Chains A and B, each alone.
Chain A
Amino acid sequence: MTKMNMLQAINNALDTAMAADERVLCFGEDVGVFGGVFRATSNLQQKYGKSRCFNTPLVEQGIIGFANGLAAQGSVPVAEIQFADYIFPAFDQIVNESAKYRYRSGNLFDVGGLTIRSPYGGGIAGGLYHSQSPEAYFAHTPGLKVVVPRNPHQAKGLLLAAIHDPNPTLFFEPKRLYRASVGEVPDGDYRLPLGEAEVIKEGTDITVLGWGAQMEVIEQAVERAEKDGISCEVIDLRTILPWDYETVANSVFKTGRLVVTHEAPLTGGFAGEIAATIQERCFLYLESPIARVTGLDTPFPLVLEKEHLPNHLKIYDAIRASVEF
């Protein structure tokens, strides 16, 4: 075990995967000798050479198109998109190509080796284009896996799982926690399961669900609620697609109440999918409406970022309102 921040854990995961399998390649804008604008790929070019860790021209659709081809060839590409806000030029390659490669070819060809890493989320004064959380756009696309870690231990274990998973996987990294989140990380190769939520804390009165950087915010909200005597069950969804509705439903059978929170805007956000599914499965067990605490239906603002974000106070209020309904 070594104490690492989230960036170091991600760098360590890439190092682990590249050392074990020469088919693993890392590329993107500025990932080469510079090691990435956040340093997630530090020293990888020095260690594994320019042919396995390299800069690409500045063209997101090219990066992912190139990665699709490489994965179809049998390589294991880990492509970086510098900010999740800039993944949209590659939307066609991801949604029409990566996601449908296996299905449309009758499993003759696939791009299962593909992993796309990208920093996402607000809270760093990033304004409109350094703050977005685009997971819901991709959650509407059968064929993709979408994964978000919450801390260094999760980041390494989930990223290694994503790299080895035989399906194209989007890995969104909460950049606000890159250096802020520090913890013990195992030194060797370990993989956390994709498609499984994790119950972080058991409780009996209400279920509070989130993912990524929002888990830290949930923790603060729950601490406050528990001082009021409300017992909260906290779940980290970890994988957005395909998501673990069973763990969430089992929790709601017990608590009868659910708050879902994410940074992305409310309308069309993934909380809507969760709310609809849980309402179907747990109809007779629900004691209050499912609450969604999210960003506003606006582009991500700069100066009023704090007002926009679903912070611990907004989540606390939603917990209180649900319990007092």
Chain B
Amino acid sequence: MTTTKPKVAYSPVFTDGGEFQIPTFKLLKQDGKLYKNAKAPDLDKDKALRIYRAMVTTRILDERMLAAQRQGRLSFYMQCTGEEAAVVGSAAALDDNDMIMAQYREQAALAYRGFTIDEFMNQLFGNELDYGKGRQMPVHYGSKKLHYMTISSPLATQIPQATGYAYGQKLAGKGHCTITYFGEGAASEGDFHAALNMAAVHRVPVIFLCRNNGYAISTPATEQFAADGVAPRAYGYKMDVIRVDGNDILAMYEATRQARKLAVEHNRPVLIEAMSYRLAAHSSSDDPSGYRSKDEEAVWREKDPILRMRLWLESKKWWSESDEKKLQESMRREVLETMKRAQKRPPPPLETLVTDVYDEVPPALAEQFDKLKAHIRQYPDEYPKSAEHAKGGA
């Protein structure tokens, strides 16, 4: 039994779906002018500048913190470089109270929501002010007040969780939705399939946003899937789908704005495939020169989404050379000063090793902790981060 009326054929007909071609939605050209017949979304100056600042902030933060990792100040880092428009354009089209469940390359959405440089730094350095209490690797951000679910490393696990979260929002009936971000590599995980199928069957207000940036670490998209990207899979789930130029801030914003309407007002989940390019290395532990050419990177550097938006803002007289200079200078200074401050803050107290495993520390774990403290008291010089904390108690 299918949910659609079956057509019948009396000789074998095979099809691979190749007749379907999903177009790419574009509004803004690289010179900052609109395509002919394209209509700019209704985006006022304040919101446009909020979007732009979030993109620039992310770019500056990424550049500085990669350098900090290279200097050995930081154990690990991952950049959003090249994909800022795909992330901020979509986040900006949501209500600020909608839930974001991201992968790990979407710090730009958090910057848009208002996560401060201080909050970024505290996580990156895992100091005592880190909301995650220094437990996770750098760039695994989370913010309860900004409705940004804490990142985890296992790929795609957040996708079915987003479906479940959004199902709860639908029952709560307050008109909220969830957006979940993931890369085209993560979309090969079984959790992607589970999430989209369940969302379509149960009509859940969730937006699946695939950042197709061409690579999953070293694996090019041609070795990730044989089909025309990730978007055609939506047909198999009977889900609304759109492919968007991920470096086009206006197209990303408009596509997501309309997707949110479908999700929240009609309980129709939507898949958005944002076509972009990962300009940076996969992470600070990766060197892309081993698997792709400088020429290929150069082509995409020409398509920089931040520059494209800046030219559009300038054409609207909302932004100038001197505004740019001021923003760049003040942001660089803030990043540098905040980094120094965050690095000096002490690590989380020793007891955070054992709290939050459960709501309360179970007796056996409390015993393990007491033993550890006694051990540290015996070798205080070997445990400089926690020797002071170990002094109290049994």
Residues of A within 8 A of B (CB): 51, 54, 56-57, 59, 61-62, 64-75, 77, 89, 92-93, 96-97, 100-110, 112, 142-143, 145, 166-167, 195, 242-243, 245-246
Report which of B150, B194, B363 forms a contact with A62, defined as CB distance below 8 A: B194
A96–B359 Cα distance when bound, in Å, is 17
Contacts of B136 in A (CB 8 A): 104
Which of B7-15, B44-52, B155-163, B221-229 contacts the other chain?
A: B155-163
A145–B362 Cα distance when bound, in Å, is 11
A69 and B197 contacting across the interface, CB-CB below 8 Å? no
Report which of B157, B357, B363, B364 forms a contact with A97, defined as CB distance below 8 A: B157
Enumerate the 6 nearest inter-chain pairs by beta-carbon distance, A residue then B residue, closest first: A65-B160, A69-B164, A62-B194, A73-B168, A69-B161, A105-B150
A75 and B163 contacting across the interface, CB-CB below 8 Å? no
Which of B32-40, B88-96, B140-148, B277-285 contacts the other chain?
A: B140-148
Q: Which residue of B lies closest to A246 (CB)?
A: B363
Q: Does B76 contact A (CB under 8 A)?
A: no
A68 and B164 contacting across the interface, CB-CB below 8 Å? yes
B101, B169, B356: most-surrounded residue (chain A CB, <10 A): B356
Q: Which residue of A lies closest to B152 (CB)?
A: A104
B171 and A106 contacting across the interface, CB-CB below 8 Å? no
Residues of B within 8 A of A (CB): 99, 101, 130-133, 135-136, 140, 142-144, 149-150, 152, 154, 157, 159-169, 171-172, 178, 190-191, 193-195, 197-198, 201-202, 352, 355-359, 362-365
A59, A73, A102: most-surrounded residue (chain B CB, <10 A): A73
**Minimum distance in angstroms from A88 CB to a CB of chain B:** 12
A66 and B359 contacting across the interface, CB-CB below 8 Å? no
A142 and B357 contacting across the interface, CB-CB below 8 Å? yes
Contacts of B359 in A (CB 8 A): 102, 110, 112, 166-167
Q: Which residue of B lies closest to A65 (CB)?
A: B160
Contacts of B358 in A (CB 8 A): 102, 143, 145, 167, 242
B132 and A62 contacting across the interface, CB-CB below 8 Å? no
A106 and B356 contacting across the interface, CB-CB below 8 Å? yes
B140 and A104 contacting across the interface, CB-CB below 8 Å? yes
Q: Which residue of A lies closest to B190 (CB)?
A: A61
**Are A106 and B160 also in contact (CB < 8 A) when A69-B168, A167-B359 are?**
no
**Minimum distance in angstroms from A71 CB to a CB of chain B:** 8
A-B contact pairs, 28 of them (CB 8 A): A57-B198, A62-B194, A62-B195, A69-B101, A69-B160, A69-B163, A69-B166, A69-B167, A69-B178, A70-B165, A73-B164, A75-B171, A77-B164, A92-B154, A96-B154, A102-B356, A104-B132, A104-B136, A104-B150, A105-B131, A105-B150, A106-B131, A106-B135, A106-B150, A109-B144, A142-B357, A166-B359, A242-B363
Report which of A51, A65, A243 forms a contact with B191, defined as CB distance below 8 A: A65
A56–B164 Cα distance when bound, in Å, is 12
Contacts of A167 in B (CB 8 A): 358-359
**Are A100 and B152 also in contact (CB < 8 A) when A69-B167, A74-B168 are?**
yes
Contacts of B140 in A (CB 8 A): 104
Q: Which residue of B lies closest to A166 (CB)?
A: B359
A93 and B160 contacting across the interface, CB-CB below 8 Å? yes
**Are A68 and B191 also in contact (CB < 8 A) when A73-B168, A104-B132, A246-B363 are?**
no
Q: Which residue of B lies closest to A51 (CB)?
A: B171
Contacts of B191 in A (CB 8 A): 61-62, 65, 93
A143 and B357 contacting across the interface, CB-CB below 8 Å? yes
Contacts of A75 in B (CB 8 A): 168, 171
